[in-house]
A = this chain, B = another copy of it.
């Protein structure tokens, strides 16, 4: 059963506030003072919930990475024709990116100044390679165009998908996940698929 708790911060609720500020000001541009103002508690109180600024970053990018890697463990990403698996993964990437928008946004902006950031960059590269392998398999099946290098196409498609964090805002009446995912897959695969 869910025990009715006090109206106070948990590491998770504090994280959601912190990530929002990180995305507005940038991680390096955000001071603990900024966080305390945004959270409505004192600077020192933050340390009662989390070990420090970097732990907040680690929790945030972990959540984003878990969401992305989770896609690859789904059934439809693991079975069937490579091109179909790829299209499924691309669609799910958009959905996860929107569902975990602030966390993925932060993940996509880390620069590698700390150990946590370098770890995040490494895991991102690993994910990219997994998807690139899928695209390569689809190319080997003859299901996608081969006149452009696989690595290059991967990067451009990732660029298109990842750019969503720069403009998508869940403004109630705006576009929903489904519409964005449709647009991305149509635009990406309309160019990817062999003419015919």
Contacts and interface: CB of A to CB of B under 8 A. Distances in A.
Contact of A158 (B109, B163, B186): B163
Interface residues of A, number: 38
B183 A149 contact: yes
Contacts of A153: 183, 187
Q: Is the interface of A mostly helix, strand, loop or mixed?
A: helix
Nearest to A113: B29
A26 interface: yes
A164 B157 CA distance: 11
Contacts of A175: 152
A156 B191 contact: no
Interface of A: 24-26, 28-29, 109, 111-113, 145, 147-149, 152-153, 155-164, 166-167, 175, 180, 183-184, 186-192
Contacts of A156: 160, 163, 183-184, 187
Nearest to A190: B191
A157 B159 CA distance: 9
A124 to B, nearest CB: 11
A158 B25 CA distance: 23
Contacts of A157: 160
Contact of A159 (B113, B147, B164, B186): B164
A171 to B, nearest CB: 13
24 contacts: A26-B28, A26-B111, A28-B28, A28-B29, A109-B109, A145-B190, A148-B183, A148-B187, A149-B183, A152-B183, A153-B187, A156-B160, A156-B184, A156-B187, A157-B160, A158-B163, A159-B159, A159-B161, A159-B163, A159-B164, A159-B166, A190-B190, A191-B191, A191-B192
Q: Ordered nearest first, which 7 A-B pairs have the shortest CB separation?
A: A159-B163, A191-B191, A190-B191, A28-B28, A28-B29, A160-B160, A26-B111
